[in-house]
Structure 1
Amino acid sequence: MDDQYKSGTNSHLYDIFNDLGYSKVRSEQRVKIYENASRCFARVTNRNWSVADVDVTVLGSRGEGMAVALGSDIDIMHLQPAVRCFETFPTENKESIDKYVATFKLNFTNVPEGYAKLHLETIKDIPWPDNHNRLVFKIKRALTSDGYLKNDQRIIDSIENDGERVKVEGWLSAHFQHERANGPAQPLQYPLPFRGLYIPIDFIPAFLCEYPTIFDEWFERVQGKAWPGVDTSMKVKKSNTFVVPVGLAGSDEEVLQWRMSFTLAERLLVMSFNDAQIKTYAAMKMIVKHALNPICENMSSYQVKTAMFWVSEKNQGILNIDDFNEMLLDVIIFLTECVRTRCLQHYFTPSKNLMFRKFSDEERSCLLASLNAISRDIAYALRRCPLIHIMCSLPKKEIKKRLIFRNICDELLAAYLSIEPEEYDVIEHLLHRAQSSQEYLELYVKHVLPIVRQNNPYGYFHLLSSMNVDEITSIMMNGIKQGYNKIWLN
């Protein structure tokens, strides 16, 4: 493995990403795990917040099956199904609106591309103690005098603002770290029973939209193309869209704008990636994080994902290991042109520019210089990323120790989220009531590990199903002591 990694050639870099967990097989397993996690989170959320009655979905890199490291965010969308937004309000179909507590019409007049204002069309008077009484009260409180919904109010009860109403019942809730809202998300650092380890979680409130024409132009454009293919295209066309409460920073009436979200459609597209595309996507995210973000913090993984979509659509062949380097180069060239022209079109709504006002003239010059250098030697650029650099530098034995630590951490989290929702409900409550990190850990070992060892859900838990508790604990403690978590969990 030493010689394999140190050569840094195309196939060897491919092997590195495979060993880091970026493969089609592992990605598909993680998608199933986080689909189950969504059901678990929904059950617990609605148990704790009976007045909320929300649908819960894990989105982002974890929902797409792309997150391996423990430090990756968990993006959790809380959808209030009692509210519905319409592109065209169904005035003649009373039944289609009577089932909702409140309905809004999407207004795209005088708003930035990719955003809408929500105009209230109907709202029911819900008597107390009905669960939706608080929802109605909060919607009415957030309305302007002319009936538009502001985005700066807490409407969905199950999403906490700065932990203001969290009841401290044990070690876990006492060590929650609530952070200032970032865009539409409410961030939380979730503590783990190992010193200094947290999982970043973003809670995102959303309303469902009936917007049947949003994918029409895209659907026509991709017909007959090798990617994403007929089956995925049909699924995307039928997928739901949402609005989330954030406006374009610095724009007029920012507080009235709600951003359109196509996260389910994007997840379907990432799930359609083959092995080479998955590794290319992972490699590009590393390059952006370590080579481009230091120049301009507005270069984002979402821009990388969008570039991946455009390049994949234009590529008429079926990608394999031999295409890995070529696709990396294609994506870098594509991003270079986007930076040069200051324009990256949103994949579903091309009229929206994802690079509008994202960098200064000086940042643009530096980004172009960096991207041009990367395109001349992609392998060298990847080897400068900390994780790849270590994989290409250390002896085989040392790499193996670090990979086992990384994979154990991944499996420990995934195991908890692979339990059936009914069992998860019980175990989550026990963990929440634990009075110390040691008790939390003991409860996890007693209730979670036996399930994984017996069933190996989704075939994902190669290490946890073969190691004893002492081995797992030793690997975790030694890894943290050696500082592996500083690089290998990000």
Structure 2
Amino acid sequence: MADGGIIRDVPGGIPRQVNVSCSPTVFQFEQLSAETCILMNVLGYGPHIRQARIDAYKAYDRHRTARTGGSVTWVTTGSKAEGLTNYRESDTDLMWVTNHATCLEEGVDSSIFPGEKSIFRSCSRISYHGHCRLLLERYGTYIPTAVYNALCDDGYGSGLLSSDLYVNQVLNGRQHQESSVEHERAGPSAPLTINGIDHRDIVGALHFYCPSILSRWAARPRNWPTPDVVQEVVSLGAFVSPVGVKGSDYEPVEWRICFNTGENVLVNNLHDTQVKLYVLLKMVKNDVLKPCKKEVTSFTVKNIVLWIAENNPQSLFNERSMFHWLHEGLYALRVAIDTKELPYYMIPERNLMAACALEHEQKLSWIATIDEMMTEGPRLILRLPKIRQAIIAHPEPLRWYSGRKIEMEMLTLIHTNRVTLGMDRETDVIMQAVLERQLEIVREVWMRMIMEGGRVNDLQSIRNSMLM
């Protein structure tokens, strides 16, 4: 392999690059790759706009956490925390973490934790990798109602925390607001809709102290991330969310180990080309494969990108190599679908495809589709509606509208954080300035639509569409 090539020997078929820079023909379509990256910047996937979104949601989490007096930590997760979606482009995923209870992996001394915290001990011996049951070790001086009411007997006289009961407690404990509509549980989450248009999925979780799991992850040989980022991820620890393995005998009392804050840091430290690869693979998942039962998820493609980043020299990632890495990402996705195997980036023993409910006919159809895309070269991006529409659009109108769309989103995030801080719309000069500028933008867009033959007269509809 001295002349360059791919060695696909990483668990789950994730590609590892070896000596690619020696081959002059490896990175094809370099100019088209660079132009696609520029186009994605215009569409709102550039590093500056992503960082602005990330900072806004971090501030939102701080404000909401401060309002609880320290009893709860709020964490935005998923695409919003990663800075990859517009304000209403997808649901907002939030994690609600009680600070009055802590879970410890086996072997950790509980005496080092303050007495006011309730302590649970994880038991993973009969659970699938990445999952555990939680046994009560001691009560704290304050026991959250949701925790207390979710306790059951393990059959041997000890307290066992039921994930199923815990989700129901979170659902029952929601504070109803006139502007919100609460929905039935969806797995571990308590979904709700605010003002009829803002959709949120809220998951109740617990802190999980697992130094040995994180140490194993940190000790892996890797090209990425850098040692300082690895240490930051380790310092953030883990959580357990109330969801078991589908079909398991212990599903109602199993909890899943997750690293939401650490994964946010990892995605935020990806190379710009790797982030755009992640976005394009998500578009393939949403707009081409179109899974109906979460057979493949955004979490699936995120793990593919993390493995690719870890196993390849970072010098190989640049805007001119985008289509090369998109081809490699599609190959990894094809392997995961074909073999129904994809190791979780943080705990490789956990197979993310183990319970994906992928039927044989659907698997064959998806494999055929991905094969077709891999033979199309750069033309494959024409299958992605958002990219295709941007290519068709004239550059000047696209840049004009995208600039106003991004400004509208930033103003909305500022407004949301002012509301979370408790500011009054009638007296806060920043909120008033934000709303005035938003109205100016909507009127500009409306006037341009009229000049180009449009007949839309509802300014609120224009504003809502700009935030999608």
Aligned partner of residue 39 in structure 1, secondary structure: helix
Between the aligned partners of 2:337 and 2:137, the Cα distance in structure 1 is: 41
1:484/1:311 Cα in 2 relative to 1: closer, same or farther (>3 Å)?
farther
Match of 2:34 among 8, 11, 14: 11
Residue aligned with 1:214, SS: helix
Aligned to 2:346, which of 329, 345, 348? Answer: 348
With over 3 angstroms needed to count, the CA separation of the structure-2 counterparts of 1:25 and 1:148, relative to structure 1, is same
Which residues of 2 match residues 64-75 of structure 1 at below 5 A? 64-75=82-93
Matched, 1:148 2:198: no
Indicate conservation of the 8 Å contact 1:151/1:258, yes or no.
Answer: yes
**Which amino acid letter does the alignment assign opposite residue 414 of structure 1?**
L
Of the three residues 223, 231, 235, the one matched with 1:226 is 223
Contact 1:247 1:259 in 2 (8 A): yes
Instruction: Answer yes or no: is the 8 Å Cα contact 2:120–2:137 preserved in 1.
Output: yes
| Equivalent position of 2:61 in the other structure | 38
Shift of 1:392: 1.4
Deviates more, 1:258-267 or 1:471-480: 471-480
Distance 1:468 1:98 in 2: 51
In 2, Cα distance between the equivalents of 1:314 and 1:97? 40
TM (norm. structure 2) is 0.82
2:398 is the alignment partner of 1:394:
no
Cα displacement (A) at 1:272: 0.8
User: Residue type matched to 2:84 in 1?
Assistant: M
Amino acid at match of 1:184: P
Partner of 1:335: 333
Contact 1:402–1:484 (CA<8 Å) still a contact in 2?
no
Question: Is this contact kept in 1: 2:340–2:353, CA < 8 A?
Answer: yes
Matched, 1:63 2:81: yes
Separation of aligned partners in 1, 2:217 and 2:349: 12
1: CA distance between counterparts of 2:87 and 2:291? 21
8 Å contact 1:64–1:267 — kept in the other structure? yes
- Which residue of structure 2 aligns with residue 385 of structure 1? 384
Following TM superposition, by how much is the alpha carbon of 1:413 offset from its aligned partner in structure 2, in angstroms? Answer: 2.6
Q: CA RMSD in A?
A: 3.1
Q: Supply the distance in 2 between the matched residues of 1:133 and 1:56 (Cα, whole angstroms).
A: 16
1:130-167 deviation line (CA, Å, top 9, x unaligned): xx463564254x5555421111224797x54496x51x
Q: CA deviation at 1:425?
A: 2.8
**Helix, strand or coil: the match of 1:201?**
strand
User: Do the aligned partners of residues 239 and 378 (structure 1) sit closer, same or farther apart at CA in structure 2, a change above 3 Å counting?
Assistant: farther
1:447-486 aligned at under 5 Å gives the runs 447-450=430-433, 468=437, 470-474=439-443, 481=458
SS at 1:174 equivalent: coil
Number of residue-to-residue matches in the alignment: 426
Q: Could you tell me how far 1:296 is from its partner in structure 2?
A: 6.5
CA deviation after TM superposition for structure 1 residue 488, in Å: 6.3
Q: Is the CA contact (8 Å cut-off) linking 2:442 and 2:462 kept in structure 1?
A: no
1:433-483, CA deviations, whole angstroms, 9 ceiling, x for partnerless residues? xxxxxxxxx659855243x6xxxxxxxxxxx8xx74541342577888597
TM-score (norm 1): 0.78
* Amino acid in the other structure paired with 1:393: I
Question: 2:368 — aligned with what?
Answer: 369
Shift of 1:90: 4.8
Residue number in structure 1 paired with 2:96: 78
Question: Among the aligned pairs, what percent are the same residue?
Answer: 22
Which amino acid is the alignment partner of residue 472 of structure 1? I
User: Which residue identity does 2:443 align to in structure 1?
Assistant: S
In 2, the alpha carbon distance for the partners of 1:445 and 1:370 equals 53
Choose which of 115, 127, 131 in structure 2 pairs with 1:98.
Answer: 115
Contact conserved, 2:39 with 2:390, CA < 8 A, in 1?
A: yes
Distance 1:144 1:200 in 2: 36
Matched AA of 2:204: P
Instruction: Determine whether 1:268 maps to 2:256.
Output: no
The superposition leaves residues 416-447 of structure 1 with CA deviations (integer Å, 9 ceiling, x where unpaired) of: 2454xxx84322xx5xxxxxxxxxxx659855
The whole-number CA distance in structure 2 between the counterparts of 1:133 and 1:201 is: 23
Contact 2:54 2:81 in 1 (8 A): yes
For the pair 1:283 / 2:283, whether they are aligned, the reply is: no
Which structure 2 residues correspond to residues 86-485 of structure 1 after superposition, within 5 A?
Answer: 86-88=104-106, 90=108, 94-96=111-113, 98-100=115-117, 102-124=118-140, 132=143, 134=145, 137-140=148-151, 142-145=152-155, 146-154=158-166, 159-161=170-172, 165-166=175-176, 173-191=177-195, 198-222=197-221, 225-294=222-291, 297-318=294-315, 319-358=317-356, 359-396=358-395, 398-400=397-399, 402-404=401-403, 406-419=405-418, 424-427=420-423, 430=424, 443=426, 447-450=430-433, 468=437, 470-474=439-443, 481=458
**What residue ranges of structure 1 are gaps of 5+ in the alignment?**
1-7, 127-131, 167-172, 431-441, 453-463
Seen in structure 2, the aligned counterparts of structure 1 residues 248 and 487 have a Cα distance that, compared at 3 Å, is farther
- Give the aligned partner of residue 4 of structure 1: none
Worse-superposed segment, 384-393 or 398-407: 398-407
Cα deviations by residue, 1:321-376 (Å, 9 ceiling, x for unpaired): 11211111111111111222211111111111111142111111011111111112
CA contact (8 A) 1:123 1:136 kept: no
CA contact (8 A) 1:143 1:150 kept: no
Aligned residue number for residue 433 of structure 1 = none
1:292–1:400 distance in 2 versus 1, CA, 3 Å: same
Which structure 2 residue ranges, 5 or more long, are not aligned?
1-30, 450-455
Task: Look up the SS of the partner of 1:106 in the other structure.
Answer: strand
Cα pair distance change 1:306/1:469, threshold 3 Å: closer
- Decide which structure has greater strand share: 2
Alignment partners' CA distance in 2, 1:137 and 1:393 = 58
